[in-house]
Structure 1
Amino acid sequence: MKMPFIPLPTLLAGFVAVLVGYASSAAIIWQAADAAGANSAQIAGWLTMLGIGMGISTLVLTLWYRAPVLTAWSTPGAALLATSLHGSTLNEAVGVFIFASFLILICGATGLFARLMRLIPPTLSAAMLAGILLRFGLDAFTSLQGHFLLSAGMLIGWLVAKVLAPRYAVVVAMLTGLVISLVTGGFQAQSVSTAVVLPEFTAPHFSLSSLLGIGVPFFLVTMASQNAPGVATLKASGYDVPVSPLIVVTAIIALLLAPFGVFSICIAAITAAICQSPEAHPDPARRWLAAAAAGAFYLLAGIFGGSISTLLTALPLAYIHTLAGLALLSTIAGSLHQALANEKERDAAVVTFLVTASGLTLAGVGSAFWGLLAGGLCYGVFSLRRRA
């Protein structure tokens, strides 16, 4: 099958999605692996297999459905592991990964997760997406405080291009920031390594205490804080993709690769929104090309997993924050418009948006789940009142 031509903005949308995904949470992966007792070579192997796993799953699902289906690791899950794996062995950690992926596979195969997702009103899905993305939009401007020249230059480049060539606005911002980083010495190219590290097999060990104390919370956090927002993002962006196959495919790949450090593979939300935005492609039916490009970049990132951490330290963090915020501006605006368009559902949508944006964490579960729960409660109460 011949691959269609991928325009430069579409290609770069895929690149930015992968860059943002790694930059925002690769450090948490290191912390989680370190908590389990992994050494530097083993951690690099984890990053290698995570990149390969996400690349394969993204390409398979995107090419099969011709929709921008991006996968990712569970960042909330990694944060939970980083705080819970202390005292556990690496073998027990792998046992937890396999156990959680198996539970996710059951949810996908039985259709339970899909049935729950069909109950969520589109306005609340859009409000939750806007709440998830709000912090990234704010970071594009708060970066002005410590890195004014870099962030202001990127913002000005984006603004000028938005007027003259809207499709290339994010591209111009990215290149402008790169030039400024090089000129000012913000990009430390000499610190980047291109080492290729082979993943190491770790035999699983299943401990009842670790499965119940870490595996079950990890499963719940991954489903509530990663898969649910990921599916809601697809829905809010207008892509009606069958939910159960997405969960099954990602769970199977995670299950097979767990002994090599793949703790989870889930449906992406934040990075997927970059590939699902008008900046990726003006035609929604062609935005799958951005996700396909992201899948290829995932594979490249996996091959050079050992150099990911050094690359992240070479780029200024403000560059990543500003680029991500600008890439997501139109998605934030579109989500807010969809969330607030229906006056009867507006109050419930605002509650969903605010709780999600608050960053609230209760019982180890992130704000996206609680925002949807609070908004859903309001939605149900207000619906009952209208009917009465």
Structure 2
Amino acid sequence: SPVFTAPSFSLNAALSVALPLFLITLTGQYMPGMLVLRNDGFTTSANPIVAVTGLGSLLMAPFGSHAFNIAAITAAICTGKEAHEDPRKRWVAGIAAGVCYILVGVFGVTLASVFMALPGTFITTLAGLALLGTIGGSLASAMADARARESALITFLAAAANISLFGIGGAFWGLVIGLLAHAALNGRLPRVSRSAR
């Protein structure tokens, strides 16, 4: 059962727990999730998504759910052509994913036991196969622009290397290295479109 835990604020907890969790969530979920949405043709602004998920995190944090956010892998599965050819009907996949999340939450211990019994290689292969179409489509889109092809490839390779520094994962450092590569190769950073704000 959910157990309420009264919030207790301290500078040490903010710097050692809250800030790293925020950076990991931002770089490991929000950025890849928004890129997946853009790649699948959804041009929504990041502002309402961050506002709604931030409010959800604030409300759910006393019950242990501190990282209420857009999930990159779920976005990749639910917003791609595999969900439905018509982008206007892909919301059904999001609802189905939400129902599955509720079921996983209710039967989490049992499902975790089942997955722990399976070999780790099998789980990794299953996740890779689920994202195969998204990875292929993203690479094709990234390589389409001749001016950004090299920096896109460097970003992909740096993110795939999964560099971890200061407790921040490979997605963030891949993006940083890609931006630096783009600036070095083109003399400037890429411009952000108004729809991305």
2:157 to 340, 354, 361: 354
Structure with a larger share of its residues in helix: 1
Q: Which whole-Å deviations, capped at 9, do the CAs of 1:109-163 have from their partners, x for residues lacking one? A: xxxxxxxxxxxxxxxxxxxxxxxxxxxxxxxxxxxxxxxxxxxxxxxxxxxxxxx
Q: CA deviation at 1:316?
A: 4.6
Residue type of the partner of 1:299? I
Q: Which whole-Å deviations, capped at 9, do the CAs of 1:299-332 have from their partners, x for residues lacking one? A: 2222233433223234454443333222222211
Separation (CA, whole Å) in 2 of partners of 1:327 and 1:224: 21
Structure 2 unpaired stretches of 5+: 189-197
Q: Residues 229 and 368 of structure 1 are in contact (CA less than 8 Å); yes or no, is this contact kept in structure 2?
A: yes
Separation (CA, whole Å) in 2 of partners of 1:200 and 1:369: 33
Q: Which whole-Å deviations, capped at 9, do the CAs of 1:172-219 have from their partners, x for residues lacking one? A: xxxxxxxxxxxxxxxxxxxxxxxxxx1111122222212222222222
Higher relative contact order (CA 8 A, sep 6+): 1
Separation (CA, whole Å) in 2 of partners of 1:331 and 1:248: 26
Look up the match of 1:265.
68
Separation (CA, whole Å) in 2 of partners of 1:374 and 1:281: 34
Q: Which whole-Å deviations, capped at 9, do the CAs of 1:284-305 have from their partners, x for residues lacking one? A: 3322211111011112222233
Look up the match of 2:57.
254
Q: 1:258 to 1:336 in 2, by over 3 A?
A: same
Residue type of the partner of 1:199? P
Structure 1 unpaired stretches of 5+: 1-197
Q: CA deviation at 1:265?
A: 1.1
Look up the match of 1:21.
none
Q: Residues 74 and 97 of structure 2 are in contact (CA less than 8 Å); yes or no, is this contact kept in structure 1?
A: no
Separation (CA, whole Å) in 1 of partners of 2:82 and 2:68: 26
Residue type of the partner of 2:2? P
**Is 1:209 equivalent to 2:12 in the alignment?**
yes
Separation (CA, whole Å) in 2 of partners of 1:313 and 1:380: 44
Alignment of structure 1 residues 221-232 onto 2, 5 Å: 221-232=24-35
Separation (CA, whole Å) in 1 of partners of 2:181 and 2:133: 27
Look up the match of 2:171.
368
Separation (CA, whole Å) in 1 of partners of 2:82 and 2:119: 23
Alignment coverage as a number of residue pairs: 188
Q: Residues 279 and 327 of structure 1 are in contact (CA less than 8 Å); yes or no, is this contact kept in structure 2?
A: no
Look up the match of 1:322.
125
Look up the match of 1:219.
22
Q: 1:325 to 1:213 in 2, by over 3 A?
A: closer
Q: Which whole-Å deviations, capped at 9, do the CAs of 1:215-271 have from their partners, x for residues lacking one? A: 222222222222122112211221111211111111111111111111211111123
- What TM-score do the two structures reach when normalised by structure 2? 0.85
Higher Cα Rg: structure 1 or 2? 1
Separation (CA, whole Å) in 1 of partners of 2:125 and 2:83: 17
Separation (CA, whole Å) in 2 of partners of 1:306 and 1:199: 15
Residue type of the partner of 2:65? V
Separation (CA, whole Å) in 2 of partners of 1:232 and 1:254: 22
Q: CA deviation at 1:343?
A: 1.4
Separation (CA, whole Å) in 1 of partners of 2:9 and 2:108: 28
SS at match of 1:267: coil
Separation (CA, whole Å) in 1 of partners of 2:17 and 2:120: 31
Look up the match of 1:383.
186
Percent of aligned pairs sharing the same letter: 47
- What TM-score do the two structures reach when normalised by structure 1? 0.45
Q: Residues 226 and 267 of structure 1 are in contact (CA less than 8 Å); yes or no, is this contact kept in structure 2?
A: yes
**Is 1:297 equivalent to 2:100 in the alignment?**
yes
Residue type of the partner of 2:174? G
Alignment of structure 1 residues 188-203 onto 2, 5 Å: 198-203=1-6
1:313 to 108, 116, 120: 116
Q: CA deviation at 1:363?
A: 1.6
Separation (CA, whole Å) in 2 of partners of 1:224 and 1:346: 22
